[in-house]
Amino acid sequence: MSKIKTVRPLTFYQGFLKNPFYYLGVISIILLGLIVLNGGAFLKSLNLKNLSLAPEQNLFFSQNKKIWPESPDFLLIQKSSLKGITPPFMVTAQVLGSLIEPNSAPSEEITEYIVEPGDSLWQIAEKFGISLNTILWANNLSQYSKIQPGQKLIILPVSGVIHHIQAGDTVSGIAQKYKVKSDEIISFNNLSSEADIFIGDILIVPGGVMPSLPSQQYVVPQVPIASSYFICPIAPPCRITQGLHWYNAIDFSHQGVSCGEPIYAAAGGQIQKTGYSKTLGNYVRILHLNGVVTLYGHLQNILVSSGQEVSQGQTIGLMGYSGYTIPAGPAGCHLHFEVRGAKNPFAR
């Protein structure tokens, strides 16, 4: 008959006398409790406030909040010792920054620059990283031209030239004229093929060189039209909110919010193209019988389709703020009205 040994539980006092690790474990648990109950004061006592992110590093968080490092967890091993466990991932400004890949792709948009006091053509070219000739060619200037503060200059995103598509133009012909490859023009202008061009299109020819002309200037051909050829593209009163700007454009709107107001064809013709761009938003282009093209941008809705014949005064869309407007939103509702191939009769 086997003997049964009775094992009595140790009291707290007897436990730590026979096994000192009990004492260490209890003290560790007490310390952990103090840290949890008074964590803020404990962290401040360690002077961890210097670990907050600098204002320029606060990528996703409020500027008036600090990012504290995550405290390590504690694991009780065999009821006798504590082991710190570092969190598997700690968020830092460097980590957040590495998750964001800045958009370093060059812009493909033509911009308008307003000359500031002290500017020179050389300085502007250097500022935008393009050649001096690129600015001269785009703005019909010569190396002897003088610029004035407040003057508007057309700035290309790359060194090269602007070409305005006219009847009979081909991509291969344009490439030959400016001494570049057709593929470069197609790629930079996001054309689907050589046939994807229309009268009135404005192409950027990257790396293009202007053919030698007596005046060293390139003037876009313009069709003479009567001042009464176009009607105002918005309902009366014909209120102009911005004068002439890129490209040969005038802005129209009425006081207050003009969203949803009708936009009229300034003259009869054929809907050449409708579409959307980051700058113009929803737009409609009309090719008129004399080869002149009008463009209507920032539309809320387009009410016509490509190839459709329209008459003067016919509603082609509704005023909106699509694309890039200042200000953004309903307060920026207006019509961007361009004339390509002729003088804009509403220019002041």
Neighbours of 165 (CB within 10 A): 19
- Residue 304: inside a domain: yes
- Backbone φ and ψ for 154, nearest 5 degrees, come out as -85, 130
The answer as to whether 231 is a domain residue is no
Q: Is residue 22 included in any domain, yes or no?
A: yes
Query: Would you state the pLDDT for residue 337?
Result: 98
How many folded domains does the chain comprise? Answer: 3
Q: Which residues contact 158 (CB under 8 A, 6 or more apart)?
A: 106, 130, 134, 188, 204, 206, 207
What pLDDT was estimated at residue 92? 30
The two tokens of residue 189 are: 């202008």
DSSP-derived secondary structure letter, 104:
-
Residue 234 lies in a domain: no
123 and 62 fall within a common domain: no
SS3 per-residue string spanning 193-218: CCCCCCCCCEEEEECCCCCCCCCCCC
Number of helices (H), then strands (E), belonging to the chain: the values are 8, 15
Same domain flag for 64 and 116: no
> Cβ(204)–Cβ(160) under 8 Å?
yes
- Residue 214 located in a structural domain: no
pLDDT score, position 36: 55
- Report in angstroms the alpha-carbon separations of 82 from 25, 39, 148, 189, 264: 7, 18, 75, 65, 79
**24 and 71 within one domain:** yes
Dist. CA 233–CA 215, nearest whole Å: 37
213 inside domain = no
Cis peptide before 102 (omega within 30 of 0): no
* Structural contact between residues 266 and 250, judged by C-beta atoms closer than 8 angstroms: no
Asked whether residue 73 is assigned to any structural domain, the reply reads: yes
User: Largest Cα–Cα distance in the chain?
Assistant: 127
Within a domain: residue 220?
A: no
Question: Which among 152, 185, 206 is the end of a domain?
Answer: 206
Domain end, chosen from 206, 229, 248, is at 206
CATH of the domain at 262: 2.70.70.10
Nearest to 26 by CA among 12, 11, 42, 10: 12
Residue 80: per-residue pLDDT: 39
The answer on 142 and 55 residing in a single domain is no
> Both 65 and 155 in a single domain?
no
Residue 114 phi/psi, 5-degree rounding, is -100, 120
Give the end of a domain, one of 98, 132, 148: 98
**251 and 291 both lie in a single domain:** yes
What's residue 187's pLDDT?
96
Q: Which of 87, 56, 57 is nearest to 71 (CA)?
A: 87
- Residues 143 and 136: their CA atoms lie apart, in Å, by 7
In tens digits, the chain (348 residues) has pLDDT values of 443 343 444 444 444 445 555 556 667 677 666 655 555 554 444 444 443 433 333 322 233 333 333 334 333 334 434 444 333 333 332 222 222 223 333 457 899 999 999 999 999 999 999 999 999 999 999 888 999 999 999 999 999 999 999 999 999 999 999 999 999 999 999 999 999 999 999 999 999 999 876 444 556 778 898 888 999 999 999 999 999 999 999 999 999 989 999 999 999 999 999 999 999 999 999 999 999 999 999 999 999 999 999 999 999 999 999 999 999 999 999 999 999 999 999 987
How many residues comprise the chain?
Answer: 348
> What is the residue range of 55's domain?
12-98
Residues 329, 332, 334, 338: is their CA dihedral positive or negative? negative
User: Do both 58 and 117 map to the same domain?
Assistant: no
- Chain Cα centroid distance, residue 20: 67
Around 212, how many Cα atoms within 13 Å sit in the side-chain half-sphere?
Answer: 0
